Amino acid sequence: MWKLYKYNGHYIQGELISEHKTESAALKKAQKEIGFTYAVRDKREKEQLIWLDNEEHTPLGVIVKKL
């Protein structure tokens, strides 16, 4: 399950926006809700992350999938 989180002013993984079955659906929702410019993929041992940044590379949110 892909979970979309929006930066809440204190934490990047602050406010849960939505949950999706596919990565593409999560990215479409993120573009509509957050309006990011850059998406940086990061794969860790137990989760897969997509960091969402604006044009100045300021964090706007993250998409997380637990493996």
CA distance 25 to 55: 22
14-49 per-position pLDDT tens digit: 999 999 999 999 999 999 999 999 999 999 999 999
Reported as a pLDDT band with limits 50, 70 and 90, residue 50 is very high
Q: What is the pLDDT of residue 36?
A: 96
| Residue 61 pLDDT grade (very low, low, confident, very high; cuts 50, 70, 90) | very high
| DSSP bridge pairs for 61 | 6, 52
Q: Which of 56, 58, 55, 50 is nearest to 28 (CA)?
A: 50
Predicted pLDDT of residue 65 = 98
| Predicted pLDDT of residue 46 | 96
The domain segmentation of the chain, as residue ranges, is 2-66
